[in-house]
Amino acid sequence: MASGIFAVLDDIAALMDDVAVASKLATKKTAGILGDDLAVNAEKATGFLASRELPVLWAISKGSLLNKVIIVPVALLLNAFFPMAIKVILVLGGCFLAFEGAEKIVHYLFHRQKEGHEVIEEATDGNADEEKAKVKSAVMTDFILSVEIVIIALGSVLDKPLMTQILTVSVVALIATVGVYGIVALIVRMDDAGFKLIQKSGEGSFVARIGQLLVAALPWIIKILAVVGTLALLLVSGGIFVHNIDYFHHLMPGVPSIVKEFALGLVVGIVIVGIVMLFQKVIRSFKKAQ
């Protein structure tokens, strides 16, 4: 009896060792996507009132965790019974990411900045709706990036037993959620941490200077993250197209992959933005005609 228990424990230990090694390898392979995920979600989690930053981030984190709960079993089932569907889902997700990235660029270049009473009205009247819209957008973007992370993690353990695949993909998915949003939480609360350091230390002290640096650096970090997040959307989408569509994979072989992926993401995104804008214009014209 005792020997049987020890044999089971030995099997569990061996399985955990396999999962640990496989998770380390899978995390390395998904490191680039995790970095993009961090940049995109940090940019999406900023721009709220200080009192709403953590509640909004918590709402996005819960949505992200739910995404993983849905994606992991679906990915395992599709990989077992209908692997072609995974490629289709990835390409459709890439189109969504390309659209989001291109839309940000188009909005920055061609939409005028709101000022004066417009900003005041938006701040007082639109906060709740805008917050919900941003959370929804962030969760949707996280869903697409999570699909990419889970698929890459699953691809690194296809030669392993089913239980190792399940545990490895689950560990990577959990790391993606806890790690990414933990770092995002640190970023968005950086100014509060700096303010507390200033309050609790003497004026002109080294600690106070660190606090002042944290407070002063946050706006710049947010601006940088806005740019990096947009670039990440286009790079990830372009990477999805290159790795899952043979024509794009063999297109312009002499061009560096990062340039080709960015260009593809941007071109596809602009095309989709144009289609969406045309569709919206047709809908508006139809409503006016009624």
Number of CB atoms found within 10 A of residue 203's CB = 6
Distance CA 174, CA 64 (A): 10
DSSP label of 114: P
Residue found by looking up tokens 């941003």 in the block:
134
d(CA 45, CA 197): 23
Would you state the pLDDT for residue 120?
39
Block means of pLDDT (10 residues each) for the chain, 290 residues, are: 47 53 56 62 64 77 87 85 81 85 85 48 56 80 80 73 79 80 78 78 75 80 77 83 83 84 92 91 82
Residue 228 and residue 179: Cα distance in Å, rounded? 19
Q: What is the pLDDT at residue 9? A: 42
Report CA 132 to chain centroid distance, whole Å.
17
* pTM of the entire predicted model: 0.67
Instruction: Show the domain range for 185.
Output: 2-289
Count: domains in the chain = 1
Q: What share of residues in the chain are helix, strand, coil (percent, to 5)? A: 90, 0, 10
Radius of gyration of the chain (CA): 23
